[in-house]
Amino acid sequence: MPDTHVAGFLIAYGTSHVALAHLAALRPGERLAVLGAAGGVGLTAVEIGARMGAEVIAVARGAERLAIASAAGARHAIDADSPDLKDQLKALGGVDVLYDAVGGALFEAGFGACRRFARVLPIGFAGGGVPKIPANILLVKNISVHGLYFGGLVEHRPEIAAASIKALLAWYEHGWIKPHVSHVLPLTEANAALDLLRSRSATGKVVIEMS
């Protein structure tokens, strides 16, 4: 594995694999909606979900990002700026597992399209808004919510993290997953790398080389 892949592998893939395989118990044929599907963790969720046999719906901003998510295995692609996102998700049959790395209005739309017995995975809040989850809807529709912070998992449940990474390394060796690195910059351009993240101009991972 080249250094650029190593740098973007552990946390991003570990987060998505534990979330989908361990917490949500994603099953083949289920619909997985990934919000922020071309981002650092979102793209890994698309790859892993497709590998697990899910019908992946990628939600991202712009044709270029949606094309990257489709190439990673998404069966459906919806622009995040669509005013009728909830209706589009419902038209596809609704959502069994919602993977959210964005928060805000996108979460509200995705949550509104969740089917009964759906599993919701709040992974991050790149959009800036921390969602307020209505407990009454969880109750009525038997929806489960599973939060995940990979650093805390490594500290408190290391056996789960270790099993996940072992599985992921085997997938990588078989060529079933491949980290997407959109930018590789030297340490002297670290501020520029952070600007790429802040402006959401990058796709996949941004890697800083120390040499």
Binned at pLDDT 50, 70 and 90, residue 126 comes out as confident
CA distance linking residue 48 with residue 39, whole number of Å: 14
Per-residue HEC secondary structure of 37-62 comes to CCCCCHHHHHHHHHHCCCEEEEEECC
For residue 191, the one-letter residue type is N
Residue 69 covered by a domain? yes
Residue 44 covered by a domain? yes
User: Domain of 75?
Assistant: 3-152
For residues 42 and 99, the answer to whether their CB atoms sit within 8 Å is: yes
Number of domains into which the chain is organized: 1
CATH code of the domain covering residue 56: 3.40.50.720
In the chain, the percentage of residues whose pLDDT exceeds 90 is: 93
Residue 182 covered by a domain? no
For residue 77, the one-letter residue type is A
Token representation of residue 171: 């997938």
pTM exceeding the 0.85 threshold for the entire prediction:
yes
Per-residue pLDDT tens for 33-71?
999 999 999 999 999 999 999 999 999 999 999 999 999
Residue 201 covered by a domain? no
Closest CA to 114 of 92, 131, 82: 92
